[in-house]
Amino acid sequence: MRILKLQAWEMKFLSKIIQLRKTEETWLKKFLVGTAIVRFLFYNTPTFIAVVTFGECALIGIPLESGKVLSALATFRILQMPIYSLPDTISMIAQTKVSLERIASFLRLDEWKTDVVEKLPRDSSDKAIELVDGNFSWDLSSPNPTLKNVNLTVFHGMRVAVCGNVGSGKSSLLSCIIGEVPKISGTLKICGTKAYVYESPWIQSGKIEDNILFGKEMDREKYDEVLEACSLTKDLEVLPFGDQTTIGEKGINLSGGQKQRVQIARALYQDSDIYLFDDPFSALDAHTRSHLFKECLLGLLKSKTVNYITHQVEFLSDADLILVMREGRITQSGKYNDILRSGTDFMELVGAHKAALSSIKSLERRPTFKTSTTTKEDTSSVSCFELDKNVVYDQNDTSDDIVEPKGQLVQEEEREKGRVGFNVYWKYITTAYGGALVPFILLSTILTVAFQIASNYWMILATLMSTTAEPDIGSFKLMVVYVALAIGSSIFTFARAFLAVIAGYKTATVIFNKMHLCIFRAPISYFDATPSGRILNRASTDQNALDMNISNLVWAIVFNLVQILGNIVVMSQAAWQVFIVLFPVMAACIWYQRYYSASARELARLVGTCQAPVIQHFSETISGSTTIRSLINNHKKLEQESRFNDINMKLIDRYSQPKLYSATAIE
């Protein structure tokens, strides 16, 4: 989103989303129309069955007595819910089948090969890494392997530098050592634990301390030593909460150099035997780069096995072994002076580096306008202690003028409390066409209930008259009036169902467009403070509920309320004594409903707030899977994988619990 705003591409990408939404709307319309037809059949099936049944009785001469008519009508109403549930049940079975097939197709995919690397017990060999005739390829169907006939032996405590042109296979070499690249042939043995530092830093949402510890216990002396070696001490002093500062998604409130140093600190704190650095110093300035190389690779890791990719020639002379790669092969290997005299590939790299340095120096010697008194050295030293974006500075840049923020950048998701205000419902029903359809839906609902009550009342009244005296109402007249009332009920039921679908569809579309417009117009600070999982939860789960369910539920409640009022009116005319029992029962129901609604409302809100962390953690785990797998400890098998799986299961349990309680209460 930051790139979209810098390039002013918001409306361009928003239009693409709207276009995809229109494709979805095509199928959504079909689904909603089908739902309206099912709802129409649901409410009119008892009436249709009654018309056919009573018409058949009139044709064959069976007398319609009031007792039989009442029993038949009650039976038809009892059958209404099972008949309505049958299509939904079949649809759910079909959806379950599709979901199971998709899950099964995913589970049938090839697993991550654990036999690529042969792991030896610690101290069982003097060789940390041994690769013999290794052929590896990211795409096994490709005729050209990524790495070809690689032979490499690294002893414990060695520093191995890997260099080469872009696309020569440097990163693939380190990836194959941690078992990420599929093996075609050869033997790869690793003795000891390993830690991998990727070129693009992977940072989790959470505290800086948690990112560095990465599941290990706190050792304060070791922790401070790692911070000092990674030049993070001064940065943490500038941050508002030190190492307790909450990092936004993908480390959004840290600079590129800070994220890289946090990633290096995480690897150093793991105290592994073998370290693999995929050019992590490229994101750092020269001063910080030299400091980290000296303090980390030559200091804390002086007794460790270190393999590092670098484009900085000045870091090659300290390596015990230099590997020069070209087109997936190791073309040269040896110490700095040896390969400098013996090969052309390495000389080309050194020559290109010197040419780049000379061009930079020539640019520095050119006269420039004095727009600033800050020298390059000053800039380098300041960049080592980059200022956090959350701290606001005065123009004078004095320490006394620092305005500390009041809280963390990423806050807990807010959850509403108490009942939903009337204005929320009012805004929902008036979003579509300014609420112009609401009177017509209410009128259709009232007339539907009125015709249903009138048809039942007519049948009872006609049968009572036919049993007390000479029948004034013949069978033909009886059925004609009943069919007319049934048709009237069906027409208004149809109108109500389709008007409700139109209103619900329009409301969902308007809210979708407004929500995405607000997201694309939101400032960068909103995306810094809001995890993507929270936004995706609103744009997917909540929008789906708005598309599929909310409209049906709202107008079903309205229909049931009108039906209850109609039944009360009928009972008041026929048997007013029932109100002696009705009022206490209504009071008890209202009390129970208030108790249940409060609990169900809070459970629904809990479900909404507990789903976003699941999405957020899962997406972060997928993006950092390489780092997680590289930190597998030989003595505690799958330690990091198990930890992330446990966290994921806890988040899923936290999300499932309120849903289970809510479903249990409904049942």
Share of the chain above pLDDT 90, in %: 10
3-state secondary structure string across 383-422 = HHCCCCCCCECCCCCCHHHCECCCCCCCCCCCCCCCCCCH
Distance CA 456, CA 523 (A): 60
Question: What residue spans define the domains of the chain?
Answer: 118-359
In angstroms, the CA 118 to CA 288 distance is 36
Lowest mean per-residue pLDDT among 39-48, 259-268, 323-332, 510-519: 39-48
* pLDDT given at position 345: 62
- In angstroms, the CA 188 to CA 544 distance is 49
Q: Tell me the pLDDT tens digit for each residue of 613-643.
A: 888 888 888 888 888 888 765 445 456 777 8
- DSSP letter string over 249-300? GGGTTS-HHHHHHHHHHHHHHTT-SEEEEESGGGGS-HHHHHHHIIIIIIII
CATH number listed for the domain at residues 118-359: 3.40.50.300
Would the pLDDT of 404 be above 90?
A: no
Give the range among 241-245, 463-467, 613-617 with minimum mean pLDDT.
Answer: 463-467
Distances (CA, A) of 401 to 373, 378, 386, 407: 22, 21, 17, 18
Q: What is the pLDDT of residues 2-27, one digit of tens each?
A: 888 888 888 989 999 999 999 998 88
Is pLDDT larger for residue 574 or for residue 19? 19
Query: Which pLDDT value is given to residue 372?
Result: 39
Confidence band of 485 (pLDDT split at 50, 70, 90): confident
Is residue 382 pLDDT above 50, yes or no? no
What is the pLDDT at residue 401?
Answer: 39
Contacting residues for 51 by C-beta, under 8 A, at least 6 apart: 479, 482, 483, 486
**Long-range contacts formed by 518-525: CB under 8 A, 24+ apart:** 520/4, 520/10, 520/11, 520/13, 520/14, 521/10, 524/1, 524/2, 524/5
Q: What value, to the nearest 5°, has the Cα angle with vertex 656 and ends 599 and 93? A: 105
How far is Cα 410 from Cα 412, in angstroms, rounded to an integer? 7
Question: Of 55-59, 229-233, 254-258, 339-343, where does the model show the most confidence?
Answer: 229-233
Model confidence at 508: pLDDT above 80: yes
Each residue's pLDDT tens digit, 123-146: 788 888 999 988 999 888 888 888
pLDDT value at 396 more than 60? no
For residue 160, what are its two tokens?
């191995």
Please name the amino acid found at residue 215: G
Average pLDDT over residues 146-160: 90
The predicted-structure confidence for 345-358, as pLDDT tens digits, reads as follows 666 666 555 555 45
Q: Which residues pair with 3 in a beta bridge?
A: none
pLDDT band of 103, cuts 50, 70, 90: very high
Alpha-carbon dihedral of residues 501, 502, 503, 509, nearest 10 degrees? 100
- Could you tell me which residue, 68 or 162, shows the higher pLDDT? 162
Is the pLDDT reported for residue 470 higher than 50?
Answer: yes
Instruction: Classify strands 305-309 and 159-164 as parallel, antiparallel or unpaired.
Output: parallel
pLDDT grade for 362, boundaries at 50, 70 and 90? low
Do 184 and 145 touch, CB atoms closer than 8 A? yes
- Count of all residues that appear for the chain in the document: 667
Over residues 287-304, the pLDDT tens digits come to 888 888 888 988 889 889
pTM of the full structure: 0.66
Query: DSSP code of 218?
Result: P
pLDDT recorded at residue 638: 56
Tell me how far apart the alpha carbons of residues 619 and 459 are, in angstroms, rounded to a whole number: 62
